[in-house]
Amino acid sequence: MESTPTSDPALLEKVTNLAKRRGFIFQSAEIYGGFRSTYDYGPLGVNMLRNVKQAWWRTMVQGRTDVVGLDAAILGPPAVWAASGHLETFTDPLVDCKKCKERWREDKIDGVCPNCGSTEFTEPRAFNLMFKTQAGPVEGDGATAYLRPETAQGMFTNFANVLATTRKRPPFGIAQIGKSFRNEITPQNFVFRTREFEQMEMEYFVAPVEADEWYRYWVQARYDWYLDLGIPEQSLRLHEHAPEDLSHYSRATTDVEFAFPWGWDELEGIANRGDYDLTQHSNASGTKLEYFDQATGERYTPYVIEPAAGATRAMMAFLLAAYHEDVVEGESRTVLRLDWRLAPHQVAVLPLSKKPELESVSREVLAALQPHFMCDYDVTQSIGRRYRRQDEVGTPYCVTVDFDTLEDRAVTVRDRDTTAQVRVAIDDLLTTIRTRSGTS
Ligand code: GAP
């Protein structure tokens, strides 16, 4: 008996509960009653979120010669956001319910107040989603700063720096992972839409004539990334935006969508931004952001293809897709079938008992594995219950150290998905786990 993301309406609650109970994601400032729409990533969640970001970095930067990394500032001056268009257009339509006074994003409520059912609202007004703050001890316009609502602008404002220091030439990309902030009117669905979140964005600069080809390339590459990390094909689809739905900067956009429990929704957007950003920043800053091709003698403003993903949103999709309930040896269990690369712990070392004679060999096994894998070490409760606990948080392999280990210097390796167990010599353990997980 298996559940899928599309067929189980209770899935969101099950995953939210599991995330809290097992230390993936906590409500922020919970001891003070919580702070709406902000979350803290606990001991398992921080590992998994890092793994999501690491998987992205490996694919988008480490595995390529045409993409370099960047880590730009979160705080930015108004000039950046004026040039990017965010000061003027990064708004959502805000309405007040005339009856209960709750505020809503007009395009998300289907004409009925989700709080009291009233259909009477104020006229929509444009609400800017950027968080505004003061930099330094002086108040006033000169000190105004904004928390970035996307990581993308750092790549555009550093275009000339990167070009000069790396000697890259189009087609090439600049990639960044980091926090972004949006004062969302209706944050919702756990970490799907929050006011503070993490993005994984790449700006790929190309010759204008090649833009469409590279756009199609990145749409496919980004779709394949989610498939490769374990999102089933039936839970993933591409949705190309109609021309009237495009953002102010976009010539074409395709979303990678996931079958969330509430329906299809965006995981990532891939946009052809044309020369909008470099032209805007060139005009506003007075610094020419162009490329001069010495071979052809041609000077041009590159077009930008942008795959823009959410790290926290992707983590949520990976959790939802991995969640399964099945029956093993007559007992029901919850198992997170997370890809090996995303699991918070790859291996758990489990001494069969707390007896001291098992401790030293167990520590020896742990020490052999820790430089290579994120490991858990658990001596509490019965071995059956410990297996269930590891299944529930997606640990692909449990390594059990028992009294025979003292004689034969071998351990039992249990596979999370099949629950099959094999006896492996300690000396062969590293190679065995590497081979089985496909990382050798
Ligand atoms: N630079 C383009 C850009 O930021 P976006 O579609 O607004 O495009 C890209 O954001 C991705 O960032 C989204 O597909 C989503 O995964 C994530 N994201 C955006 N707003 C978010 C929010 N409030 N909470 C969580 N993730 C968000």
Can you tell me which residue has the tokens 């099945």? 326
The edge-to-edge listing of strands for the beta sheet with 103-105 is: 103-105, 91-96, 125-128
Q: Is the pLDDT of residue 107 over 70?
A: yes
Between the CA of 282 and the centroid of ligand 1 the distance, in Å, is: 25
Q: What is the mean pLDDT of the chain?
A: 94
Parent domain of 349: 345-437
CATH classification of the domain holding 241: 3.30.930.10
Q: At what angle do helices 429-437 and 356-369 cross, to 10 degrees?
A: 50
Residue 108 confidence (pLDDT) above 90? no
Whether 361 maps to a domain, the answer reads yes
Q: Measured in angstroms, how far is the CA atom of residue 199 from the centroid of ligand 1?
A: 7
List all residues whose CB is within 6 A of at least one atom of ligand 1: 150, 152, 182, 184, 193-194, 197, 199, 201, 266-269, 306, 308-310, 312-313
55 with 149, same domain: the answer is: yes
> From atom 22 of ligand 1, which residue's Cα is the shortest distance away?
193
pLDDT for 7 equals: 54
| Same domain flag for 290 and 368 | no
Ligand 1 centre to CA of 431 (Å) is: 40
Q: What is the Å distance from ligand 1's center to 66 Cα?
A: 24
**∠ Cα 59 62 65 (to 5°):** 105
Ligand 1 atom 20: residue of nearest CA: 193
Report the pLDDT value the prediction gives residue 3, as an integer from 0 to 100. Answer: 44
Q: Does the pLDDT value for residue 193 go beyond 80?
A: yes
Reported as type and span, the H/E element at residue 145 is strand 144-147
Output the CA 218–ligand 1 centroid distance in Å: 17
Q: Please, which pLDDT band fits residue 208 given cuts at 50, 70 and 90?
A: very high
> Is the pLDDT reported for residue 9 higher than 80?
no
Determine the distance separating the centroid of ligand 1 and the alpha carbon of 206, expressed in angstroms. Answer: 23
Determine the atom of ligand 1 nearest the C-alpha atom of 192.
Answer: 25
Evaluate whether residue 96 is within a structural domain. Answer: no
- How far is ligand 1, taken at its centre, from the CA of residue 269, in Å? 8
Instruction: Quickly state the pLDDT bin for 370 (edges 50, 70, 90).
Output: very high
Beta bridge partners of 328: 331
Q: CB burial class (10 A; 0-12, 13-18, 19+) of residue 420?
A: exposed
Residues 204 and 282 placed together within one structural domain of the fold: yes
Tell me if 68 is assigned to some domain: yes
CB 8 within 8 A of CB 323: no
**pLDDT for position 1:** 37
Closest ligand 1 atom number to CA of residue 268: 14
Looking at residue 6, what is its pLDDT? Answer: 53
Q: Is residue 327 part of a domain?
A: no
For 164-173, the pLDDT digits (tens) are 999 899 999 9
Percent of the chain's residues with pLDDT above 70? 98
| Shared domain check, 357 and 295 | no
Write out pLDDT tens, residues 32-54: 999 988 999 999 999 999 999 99
Per-residue pLDDT of 224-257, as tens digits, reads: 999 999 999 999 999 999 998 888 788 999 999 9
Residues 363-389 have a mean pLDDT of: 96
Q: Are 425 and 361 in contact (CB under 8 A)?
A: no
Picking from 319, 335, 357, the residue at the C-terminal end of a domain is 319
Which of 81, 197, 200, 222 has the most ligand 1 atoms within 8 A of CB, as the residue to mutate?
A: 197
Q: Are residues 367 and 312 in the same domain?
A: no
CATH of the domain at 381: 3.40.50.800
Per-residue pLDDT at 349 exceeds 60:
yes
User: What would the pLDDT profile of 293-345 be if each residue is shown by its tens digit?
Assistant: 988 999 999 999 999 999 999 999 999 999 999 998 888 999 999 999 999 99
Report the C-alpha gap between 426 and 257 in whole angstroms: 44
Domain ends where: 303, 319, 335?
319
The pTM of the full predicted model, rounded to 2 decimals, is 0.95
Helix axes 11-21, 311-322, angle to 10 degrees: 110
**CA nearest ligand 1 atom 15, residue:** 310
Could you tell me how many residues make up the chain? 440
Do both 272 and 349 map to the same domain? no
- Which DSSP letter does residue 427 get? G
Q: Tell me, what's the pLDDT at 430?
A: 96
Q: Is residue 374 part of a domain?
A: yes
**CA 377 to mean position of chain CA atoms:** 27
Give yes or no for a contact between 25 and 39, defined as CB atoms under 8 angstroms apart: yes
Answer yes or no: do 301 and 378 share one domain: no
**382 and 303 belong to one structural domain:** no
Q: Is residue 257 part of a domain?
A: yes
Q: Which of 265, 284, 319 is the last residue of a domain?
A: 319
Q: Is the pLDDT of residue 403 over 50?
A: yes
Q: Which of 109 and 372 is assigned the larger pLDDT?
A: 372
Q: What is the mean pLDDT of residues 175-185?
A: 96
**In terms of domains, do 246 and 136 share one?**
yes
Q: Are 143 and 265 in the same domain?
A: yes
Q: Is the pLDDT of residue 261 over 90?
A: yes
For residue 347, the CA-to-ligand 1 centroid distance in Å is: 32
Nearest atom within ligand 1 for CA of residue 187: 23
Return phi, psi of residue 63, to 5°.
Answer: -85, 10
Give the count of domains, the chain.
2
* pLDDT on residue 438: 80
The reply to whether 416 and 360 lie within a common domain is: yes
CA of 341 to the centre of ligand 1 (A): 23
**Residue 331 placed within a domain:** no
Coil, helix or strand at residue 200: strand
339 lies in some domain: no
44 and 186 together in one domain: yes
Which residue is closest in CA terms to ligand 1's atom 19? 310
